[in-house]
Chains A and B, each alone.
Chain A
């Protein structure tokens, strides 16, 4: 390969300014030319305004609007995450109210104006980045709930060969029979319900006619985050997730397969 360009793609910051800083350092180490954030800046973590200097001042970082950002930016009453069970909505609302109260007006305005998708041509392939899915911002694309035929439909309809999404919080990569790919990049805001404290993102290496998807695990100072969450009075359930790597809230939306992995 003569020309290789490296990109970093991530999503779901969830107010985690510590993992965001670590992610940006990692992107520099990877030699990333451009960095793409697929949205959901707020929720879950502490001190929402702390992520904005990173997001707004990093020259080669492109940020997309997720459902959370649309809600905060437009001053809506809830996150429109797509939960259906009251147990999920209970904790989602605590998280949303905290984020809403602690996000400055200029930062809310900035979220409101973010784009909702990115398109590129890499190695001759049509690349699409969406938040939840190309057709719906808050659609959950779980690995066990996405038949190949359904993903083909999404790619056909959105005229894409390579699709990146986030929103669910659990990463996966699927290569279809025809070579097209769908990549859920996971999130950097909380661990993917796997009992580890690391979070997820993706490095993409694009050559003249090749695209290599390299899922990554990111270590960060999760204990510092947990301490800050406690200082901010956030629910102990959220802190436990950061410290143990197991989801304790917003579990009812999980498909049976993904739910069966964890203890809660």
Chain B
């Protein structure tokens, strides 16, 4: 039975039969989650699995100005936003990061996706204090792609394993327990044994409440070159969504704002056709699930939220 479910030939044949159908349309329910690409595609690392090819030289999405971030927050608050995420690139490269964090936490809970490397002792202390004093919860998501230097550094770059762990240690020491985020480029990392290894690694470092999130890779950007891109059958058409899936797909309740405009989700910001307009108001409309990356969210049940 299980073999039948993943019979590739059958999948391909079924996709071929249905390829004339249009992509499913997904209604926009409410702005629960506002993503802000605060540092665009600029990052201190150039991870091999990055779906938007971020790196020190990729300026396709520049830093958002403080004014752009505040405007998006104001718009989000008007729509009754439930939570805000900062991502990049590496958000701690932003010169105004403290102002951005302070302003956001006046409005909503905040999660920051970071590699943790730029968080020094002073920043960690400030973040811990901010966590304790803010009205809404404040989470850090630190990306780590293996439980050994060999595993992690093969994806995230030489010597990053130890630097990331040092960032995690600093946050924990200051009372801010980060969510360790693992992209399952090696499928076994997300399986039970892989999860246990991460829990052991964190417990060995004195983190008594290990928090983990596992994410499937998206086969676009640099990841497309590292592994492989999407196959022709990996497309969604009308009728593919299962009952209730609309609620679970993050793009029914999130939008991403970058310095260049508004997009349906954090994954598709390099896809020019996905751009919905200049401001958040332009993004309050239905979308077509016509990109192969949508297939990953459908099949894997991915949500970028914590």
Contact A149 to B247, CB < 8 A, known contacts A255-B137, A256-B177, A260-B177: no
- Counting CB contacts under 8 A, is B148 at the interface? no
Taking the nearest CB of chain A, how far is it from the CB of B30, in angstroms? 7
Is A144 in contact with B80, judged by CB distance below 8 angstroms?
no
Taking the nearest CB of chain B, how far is it from the CB of A244, in angstroms? 16
Summarize B's interface: helix, strand, loop or mixed: loop
Taking the nearest CB of chain A, how far is it from the CB of B89, in angstroms? 23
Interface residues of B in 229-284 (CB under 8 A from A): 247
Contact A147 to B212, CB < 8 A, known contacts A153-B30, A256-B131, A256-B138: no
A251 to B208, CA, bound (A): 13
- Counting CB contacts under 8 A, is A233 at the interface? no
The number of chain A residues touching the other chain, given as a range, is: 20 to 34
A244 to B57, CA, bound (A): 53
- Counting CB contacts under 8 A, is B225 at the interface? no
A146 to B179, CA, bound (A): 20
* Chain B residues, CB < 8 A from A251: 209
Q: Mark B132-173, 1 if CB is under 8 A from A, else 0.
A: 000111110000000000000000000000000000000000
* Chain B residues, CB < 8 A from A153: 30, 79-80
Which among A144, A150, A152, A256 has the greatest number of chain B C-beta atoms within 10 A?
Answer: A256
Tell which of A150, A256, A257, A259 touches B82, judged by Cβ atoms closer than 8 Å.
A150
Is A146 in contact with B139, judged by CB distance below 8 angstroms?
no
A264 to B82, CA, bound (A): 26
A145 to B84, CA, bound (A): 10
- Counting CB contacts under 8 A, is B176 at the interface? yes
* Chain A residues, CB < 8 A from B131: 256-257, 260
A145 to B192, CA, bound (A): 29
Closest to B84 in A: A147
Is A260 in contact with B136, judged by CB distance below 8 angstroms?
no
Is B211 in contact with A252, judged by CB distance below 8 angstroms?
yes
Taking the nearest CB of chain B, how far is it from the CB of A254, in angstroms? 9
Is B81 in contact with A147, judged by CB distance below 8 angstroms?
yes
Q: Mark A143-160, 1 if CB is under 8 A from B, else 0.
A: 011110110111010000
Taking the nearest CB of chain A, how far is it from the CB of B83, in angstroms? 7
- Counting CB contacts under 8 A, is A258 at the interface? yes
A142 to B109, CA, bound (A): 11
3 closest residue pairs by CB, A with B: A153-B80, A144-B137, A257-B137
